[in-house]
Chains A and B, each alone.
Chain A
Amino acid sequence: MGKFILDGQEIGFKPGQTIIEAAKEVGVDIPHFCWHPSLSVSGNCRVCLVEVEKMPKLAIACATQASEGMVVHTESTKALSARQAVMEFLLINHPLDCPICDEAGECKLQDYTFSHSVGESRFTEEKQHKEKRVPLGPHVMFDGDRCISCSRCIRFCDEIAGESELTFVNRGDRVTIQTFPGKELKNPYSLCVTDICPVGALTNRDFRFKARVWDMSNTSSVCPGCSRGCNVDVWVRSNEILRLTPRENEEVNNVWMCDEGRLNTWKHVNAGDRVDGPQIRRGEGLSKATWDEIYSKASAELHGFTANEIAFIGSARSTVEDNHLLAKLANHLHCKNIDFPRHIVPGSGDKILRKEDKTPNSAGALAAGISPVKDGLAFEEIMTAVKSHKIKALVVVEEDIAAMDEKYATALKQLQLLVVLASNFNATTELAHIVIPAATWTEKNGVFINFEGRAQRIRPAVATEQMDRSLDGFSMSRLDKFGTKFDRWGNYKKYDARPVWRIFLDLGHLLGLKAKFEFAEDVWEDFTKHSPGFHGITYDELGEMGLTVKKNYI
């Protein structure tokens, strides 16, 4: 490891590292637009110009390799004036669009204009006008005026997504971005370009104009779209999810996530078909009941069956905590028929991020003991046994079994007792005798274990009826902090739903289960005591990034 001097401070570098990379490692952020740590070096924005002693001209820090004894100045008069000049150039044709631009508030150009430019333009001529509001594909909107031609989006498609869809056309101040003839920007990761575009030239059509970034809170969580478990931020305003963005974690997803996960994993949380409060079948339809009513009814009815007549279906969409309590309850009732359905979609994976297992927690469900006990029935066998009346009572957690297969739906009709824990009404709740509203992945604490055995925390971003944003330690926006119930934004809908583990805990108490947990963390602690691979790992240790556990333990 060599050493060079950056702004009077000696710092180390690995052979081949550029100045910008070495500086980043010691926490010095040299201004940059086109350089991105995960993309190739393009060196076109010129904003990272630094002064290197003994070099005749200023050098771009993103493409100049650090070398032994080099003396670099990022704040010298020469470097500063070059940076200011570059900013002035970039702003010549950039429109004053911030009021109508979704990027405002998280825009690199705004930030750098604030910190690195003189704040005045000498350009009085008419600005170049280009096409605005151009849909480049199903998810991405392009604004030609705002593009600063950094080529990050082009390089992303070429190098990361592996599908060349974008290119520059024209030259000089007319240069703009276009898709190749006959192509659209629709690779499975297309929305990542909206994250890396340093300005508001590429924006998310799904999120377009929904909210200002400073009005939302963001919560660190994990995408439940597949067994990769990409780290995400959940953005919420007025208790409503508005978008997901990837959160950097080099071990899992780097800074990317797929469009499917970004767009389709949370819409059900805001949807109109949420199960709001417990429901009991009275005659044909379901009607609302109190929690006490359904707990006592469910426990009384379960009492009426022998252990062999009952089966439990867990879910790889639920957390480790949820499944742990389910397994505990099944064990307490000496029920051996416990399993969870797999959601493997062959051909839906790739080498980038997406996995074929479309659930986030298969490994966690297994680790929590959701698999048939010796002589117990597995999922398919349970369904056959339901059909042949051997299983008479079934408890289903967060799975829409009736929608998976026509024959399952017919089978479920044979049951004497069907208890369904679900967040939204679906084909299975249609057939249920008791529907218990389950909190979604954005409304509870818990852990998902991904395909590699990495345990990662999810956190509540949306409050349910029993939760309070400030008392329960939610991430809070300015509006959350100062709103009252008389303000529209503070007077939001909260659903009456509870985390699956809490439902099984309360139900378990009525069935004689002796367990005492206050928080999800207590359930996790109990789980780690019984799972050798996780001994002593606390929520704090999992932190924001999670921990990988040796595979042979799960």
Chain B
Amino acid sequence: MAVKKRMKDFTLMEKIYLPSIVAGLSITLQNMFKPKYTMEYPEVKFMPSGHYRGRPVLVQEEDGGERCVACGLCSRVCPALAIDIQAAETEREKERYPERFEINMLRCIFCGLCEEVCPEEAIVMSKEYEIAFTNRQDAIYGKDKLLTPIADLQERIEFLRNNK
């Protein structure tokens, strides 16, 4: 059975603490001159790369229309039932579009399944993580908040294509 080391068994060097304090301070000193990992949020903002799963957004084509065909697969797969869609007919070749497309950000858990299931690459996870509201109604994001120009989403789309 191991004998427990007691206070009175410390060596002199251990008893005077000083060497340990110096050792600790030297680590602090070293780190003061290394690059920093923390950020002064919100003055400084975190800019994630393409792998990041921020809030889901809808891809807006260059002509201003949405890519989504309102197939409802994202709404079906969403484990949190965050997505509510009403489809309607359009004259364009794709035949249907979402007349209403809403994501309830209080329900969304940022899992990215909607993005994964979408057959049209029409819904993708953005880099946006600043999501705050003061009442339930504001938490429901409609097309106005969801549609994002495709140019702003290139990085994510490339990430998705490379990591199929």
Among the listed B71, B84, B89, B140, which residue makes an inter-chain contact with A99, where contact means beta carbons less than 8 Å apart? B71
Determine how close the nearest CB of chain B comes to the CB of A487; give it in whole angstroms: 7
Tell whether, in the assembled complex, residue B104 and residue A487 are in contact, meaning their CB atoms are under 8 Å apart.
Answer: yes
> Is A344 located at the chain interface by the 8 A CB criterion?
no
Q: Is the CB of B71 within 8 A of A100?
A: yes
Neighbour of A100 across the interface among B75, B84, B96, B102, CB < 8 A: B96
**B96 A487 Cβ-Cβ under 8 A:** no
Tell me which of A154-162, A209-217, A312-320, A372-380 binds B.
Answer: A209-217
Report Cα–Cα, A100/B119, bound state, in Å: 10
Taking a contact as CB atoms under 8 Å apart, the answer to whether B70 and A487 are in contact is no
Q: Which residues of chain A (161-204) have a CB below 8 Å from chain B?
A: none
Q: Is the CB of B84 within 8 A of A209?
A: no
Nearest Cβ distance between residue A131 and chain B, in whole angstroms? 13
CB distance B84 to A212 under 8 Å?
Answer: no
A98 touches which of B71, B76, B87, B96 (Cβ 8 Å): B71
Interface size on B, residues (CB 8 A): 21
Report Cα–Cα, A104/B102, bound state, in Å: 22
Q: Are A99 and B104 in contact (CB under 8 A)?
A: no
Residues of A within 8 A of B136 (CB): 486
B70's nearest neighbour on chain A, judged by CB, is A209
CA distance A244 to B18 in the complex (A): 86
The CA-CA distance from A357 to B81 in the complex, in Å, is: 46
Q: Mark B70-81, 1 if CB is under 8 A from A, else 0.
A: 111101100001
In the complex, the answer to whether A209 meets B71 with C-beta atoms within 8 Å is: no
Q: Are A208 and B89 in contact (CB under 8 A)?
A: yes
Least distance between A345 CB and chain B CB atoms (Å): 34
Picked from A133, A211, A483, the residue with its CB within 8 Å of the CB of B81 is: A483
Chain A residues, CB < 8 A from B89:
208-209
Residue of B nearest to A481 (CB): B81
Distance of A434 Cα from B87 Cα, bound (Å): 41
Q: A99-B120, A100-B95, A209-B89 are in contact. Are A487 and B84 (CB under 8 A)?
A: yes
Is A351 an interface position by the 8 A CB rule?
no
Contact with B along A101-131 (1 / 0, CB 8 A): 0001000000000000000000000000000
CB nearest to B91 among chain A residues: A133
A214 near B76 with CB under 8 A, answer yes
Interface contact A209-B119, CB-CB below 8 Å: no
B151 at the A interface (CB under 8 A): no
Cα of A214 to Cα of B78 in the assembled complex, Å: 14
User: With contacts A98-B71, A100-B95 known, is A488 near B120, CB below 8 A?
Assistant: no
| B-chain residues with CB within 8 Å of residue A483 when the two chains form the complex | 81
Instruction: Give Cα A483–Cα B94 distance, bound, in whole angstroms.
Output: 30
Please provide the chain A residues from 344 to 391 with a CB less than 8 Å away from any CB of chain B in the complex: none
A100-B96, A215-B72 are known contacts. Are A209 and B81 too (CB-CB below 8 A)?
A: no
Q: Does A519 contact B (CB under 8 A)?
A: no
Please determine whether A212 and B96 come into contact, CB atoms closer than 8 angstroms: no
- Neighbouring B residues of A208 by C-beta, 8 Å: 89
B95, B102, B136: residue with the most chain A Cβ atoms closer than 10 Å: B95
The minimal Cβ–Cβ distance linking B104 to chain A, given in whole angstroms, is 7
Q: Which residue of A lies closest to B118 (CB)?
A: A99
What are some 23 contacts across the A-B interface (CB < 8 A)? A96-B119, A98-B71, A98-B119, A99-B71, A99-B119, A99-B120, A100-B94, A100-B95, A132-B95, A133-B95, A209-B70, A209-B88, A210-B87, A211-B87, A212-B75, A214-B72, A214-B76, A478-B81, A479-B81, A483-B81, A487-B84, A488-B84, A488-B140
Q: Which 8 A-B pairs have the closest CB atoms?
A: A99-B71, A212-B72, A209-B87, A99-B119, A100-B69, A209-B96, A100-B95, A100-B96
Q: A133-B95, A209-B89, A212-B72 given. 20 additional CB < 8 A pairs?
A: A98-B71, A98-B119, A99-B71, A99-B119, A100-B71, A100-B94, A100-B95, A104-B71, A209-B70, A210-B87, A212-B75, A214-B72, A214-B76, A215-B75, A215-B76, A482-B81, A483-B81, A487-B84, A487-B104, A488-B84
